Amino acid sequence: MPSISQPTRSGPITVMIVDDHEVVRRGIAEVVERTDGMTVVAEAGSVGDGVRRAGLVRPQVMLVDLQLPDGTGIDLMRAVRESQPEARAIVLTSFDDDDALAAALEAGAAAYLLKSVRGAEITDVIRAVAAGRTLLDERTVTRRKAGHEDPTENLTPSELRVLDLIGEGLSNREIAERLGVAEKTVKNHITSLLAKMGLQRRTQVAAWVASRKHAGWRAEPGH
């Protein structure tokens, strides 16, 4: 008798792919279809379409992007979970974001993958999740957060403001004018925030701010 962690369906593992980029969807679909024992039963490019198609095909596993035109993959997982608690979800995204990871866990995702993974890894995770395994748990989130301390947590309010303005591309003189302080004061703030953040150059600060803006998975749907 099979254990309760094993899929109860016979036949191939049924997979639905939800991503608003058709090229991405097709690429993932080709990987899945080339793998023995699994098949793509639906594709969707939005939360609304994903919920509707999931209701029609009732997939065993959903591969879900975080950013969608009409919401997030979290919204989709929650909606499907209400009507199909047996459906299992894998987040497949470009956002290596602790908040997103925690939200995915709360929404019931069984795994969290970055789009940089190899195709074989995706299908291995699909197979594991379909078999009842959960690869994302509270310990994963806690362990990641412990290793991703915020380098800005010790910055003063003035230093945080300077940090934001560097990220906007302003020069020291422009920052001084914006804040109504001497340019030397701005330089002192930069020296201090570099030391606190463990950075050496102003350009590294700008790059860090840019990376954080990119990591904001809720901010700009469609990426």
Residue 91, token pair as written in the block? 């987040």
Q: Which pLDDT belongs to residue 34?
A: 94
Residue 53, token pair as written in the block? 């198609």
User: Which segments of the chain have a pLDDT < 50?
Assistant: 1-8, 221-223
Q: Which pLDDT belongs to residue 139?
A: 67
Calculated CA dihedral for residues 156, 159, 164, 170, nearest 10 degrees:
170
Q: Which pLDDT belongs to residue 138?
A: 67
Q: Which pLDDT belongs to residue 119?
A: 86
**Residue 67 — left, alpha, or beta (φ > 0 → left; ψ -120 to 50 → alpha)?**
beta
Q: Give, in words, the CATH class of 13-145.
A: alpha beta
Residue pLDDT, tens place only, 152-207: 878 899 999 999 999 889 999 999 999 999 999 999 999 999 888 888 888 888 88
Contacts by residues 36-42 (CB-CB < 8 Å, ≥ 24 positions apart): 37/12, 37/13, 37/127, 38/12, 38/13, 38/14, 38/123, 38/126, 38/127, 38/130, 39/12, 39/13, 39/14, 39/15, 40/15, 40/16, 41/14, 41/15, 41/16, 42/16, 42/17
Residue 202 CB contacts under 8 Å (≥ 6 apart), including other chains = 166, 190, 194
Domain residue limits, the chain = 13-145, 157-214
Q: What is the pTM of this model?
A: 0.64
Domain 157-214 coded CATH 1.10.10.10:
yes
